[in-house]
Amino acid sequence: MALAPFVIYTFLGLGIPTIAIVWAAFHTQQGQVTFANMHAALQGSYLLGFENSIKLALLTSIVPGVLGVFLAYAIETSRSTVLKRVVGTASGVLANFGGVNLTFMFIVSLGATGVLTGWLSVIHLNPWNFGFDLYTFYGVAIVYMYFQIPLMVLVITPALGGLRASWREAAQNLGASSWRYWRYVGIPVLMPSVLGGILLLFGSAFAAYATAQTLTSGIIALSPIQIGALLDGNVIANQANVGYAIGFGMLVILSVTMILYSLVRRRASKWLR
């Protein structure tokens, strides 16, 4: 009985939408069973959308994942408690700072006529003159990294705190160098948490919609943007069920991601007890 509110909330917020997506993906708008929606979702521009979404998610999970680990380690080993609190608080805020607000900030700062772009133009370092374009695939990736790196800092910090000083002292007493300590103790202990964090970043980037949509206005083929266009009906009429089929494909990918995340987190949790 104690879990009843949670079960009801989960069913209403996750179960019913999932059932609706699966049903619509394999039915026509008239209610007939069909595989045409899935076939269409895996062809042409929709297949390209999956490919671009996966590439974007990989790029904005691996790079921020690595950078986040080094940043979190530098903060965790700092003697300044004030710095730790400031970075921890800032990471919590920035990790949830996305969508229209983040897009507007980058356009104002690094757009073709942005403030930072103007300052750099004064010293002849305008990034747009060197091939930079905020409204391309890599421009979207840069914007994503703004909230992905702080998210990785939040995720990996508890694991870094789990590295006990006694382990390093024991390794040193046995004659191990710093490299051997990290090779045989530190990295193996941290790796499950690092992989778990990267998987979490992958899921976050793969499903993100608002930031890419407002930044590019849909000119880049990404699955979340294509779903929005199909369900909105302004671009292609009577293709809503294809949008649900794309959503089902994303659901499968995200489900595999979360299963892998649960497995690596279970392995990592024993070092955080």
Q: Would you call 92 exposed, middle or buried from its count of C-beta atoms within 10 A (0-12, 13-18, 19+)?
A: middle
Q: Which two tokens stand for residue 101?
A: 């607000």
**Total structural domains within the chain:** 1
Tell me, what's the pLDDT at 254? 92
Give per-residue burial for 139-150: e unless 16+ CB within 10 Å, then b: bbbebbbbbbbb
Note whether residue 36 is domain-resident.
Answer: no
What is the sign of the dihedral through the CA atoms of 91, 92, 93 and 96? Answer: positive
Note whether residue 186 is domain-resident.
Answer: yes
**Is pLDDT of 186 > 80?**
yes
Using one digit for the tens of pLDDT, what is the confidence trace for 81-102? 888 888 888 888 888 887 788 8
Three-state secondary structure call for residue 176? coil
Tell me, what's the pLDDT at 1? 65
Query: What's the mean per-residue pLDDT of the chain?
Result: 86
This prediction has a pTM of: 0.87
| Domain CATH code at residue 209 | 1.10.3720.10
With bands split at pLDDT 50, 70 and 90, how would you rate the model's confidence at 237? Answer: low
Note whether residue 1 is domain-resident.
Answer: no
Tell me, what's the pLDDT at 273? 58
Enclosing domain of residue 76 = 52-220+252-269
Note whether residue 200 is domain-resident.
Answer: yes
With bands split at pLDDT 50, 70 and 90, how would you rate the model's confidence at 218? Answer: confident
State which H helix or E strand residue 174 sits in: none
The mean pLDDT value for 176-203 works out to: 88
Q: How far is CA 178 from CA 1, 14, 173, 185, 222, in A?
A: 52, 47, 12, 10, 44
With bands split at pLDDT 50, 70 and 90, how would you rate the model's confidence at 272? Answer: low
